[in-house]
Amino acid sequence: MGAGFSKLFPLIWDSILPSDYSTYQKSFHSGIVIALVGRSGSGMSRFIHDATGSYETGVTPEEWRGTNNKPYTAVIQDFGFTIPGIDYADFPLLFIDTPGFDYAANNDEHTALQKLLSWLQTCKPGMKLDGLIFMHNANADELQSRSPYVPRDKVMRELCGENWQGKVLFLSTHWHSLDHEHKKSKEAAIRKYWSHANSKTERYDIPGYESAWNILKPLIQKATAAREQRLEAELKDLKIQVGLEDGVCDRIRDILDKKMSFMRRVTTNLGTLTTQSLTDAEKLEYVRLNEKARKLWEEVEHEISGVELERLLTVGGNQESSDETIKVAYVIFSVYS
């Protein structure tokens, strides 16, 4: 019955019974997806390292910088991360690192986004980005001579969804090596270049864990709020389609509310601590929440009819019933698309 429930109500399932990393990579029902595109040498891989503390993305070595025109990241790659101490399904964050471009012919933002879209459609079909960060090395001089960047609405909607402007950020790096006058001219060039995008610009002045998370935090919090709305929709479907009693639904809602409240609190603190780990008190609180969730699920199993779940997952019976089943399954499977 667990398999059927996890297909029909993936967010509830992940929140009550968090999965391990291998399961999380395959299903990714409830993940937060952040992609980075940008000029070669702008620090995309480094930014991911600063946030996660991992070198899995392959940060450009110092000896490579300034001696090689090719991007160090050669192919699009994804990297999963979670807060140490948190099960993957409760804070699944997927970074997508992309090869840098150099503004040569057919090698700019538009090309990079088209390649990213093709990769998503092939490797992560149905996935939408929760954040798209354009990165630029402030030391580079190309922007002064280029026309303002004009996003292609169709591509942006396919990547990020309808309200894509709030998920997009232009992040400039390497400001530490510029003097005051050069900083002013570079800021003016960036404002002009990004003026048609209708999205935020930020400076990555002091690279590091705290700075990276202060930049990521608004994107993470928006994605977390959207996930809570989808959880609420799943709860309504659970009550209507499976026919759970009010008391059972209330208990599931209570567990989900407590876990979401805990994750909001932890997310808010990201970047303010010298470590990425939970405090001892938070670890204990999280363990107890998961224990309560698992005990609740054992009780819920006795309330949910396996036959009813099988009926919802199987297209059969009269056409009206089949159409309704397909509709319900489509809505729920599209929760994170």
Of all helices (H) and strands (E), which one includes residue 161? Answer: none
What's the whole-model pTM score?
0.80
What pLDDT is attached to residue 156? 97
What pLDDT is attached to residue 233? 86
Higher pLDDT, 195 or 309: 195
What pLDDT is attached to residue 332? 35
Residues 6+ apart with CB under 8 A from 273: none
Neighbours of 329 (CB within 10 A): 16
Higher pLDDT, 83 or 21: 83
Backbone angles phi, psi at 284, to 5 degrees: -65, -45
For residue 14, name the pLDDT band (cuts at 50, 70, 90).
Answer: confident
What's the pLDDT tens digit per position in 152-197?
999 999 999 998 999 999 999 999 889 988 999 999 999 999 999 9
Q: Which domains does the chain have, with CATH numbers?
A: 31-207 (3.40.50), 226-333 (no CATH)
For the cut 90, the answer to whether the pLDDT of residue 316 exceeds it is: no
For the cut 60, the answer to whether the pLDDT of residue 309 exceeds it is: no
Strand partners, 200: 169
Q: State the Cα angle at 119 between 113 and 120, rounded to 5°.
A: 90
Neighbours of 133 (CB within 10 A): 23
Spatial distance between the Cα atoms of 34 and 213, rounded to a whole number of angstroms: 12
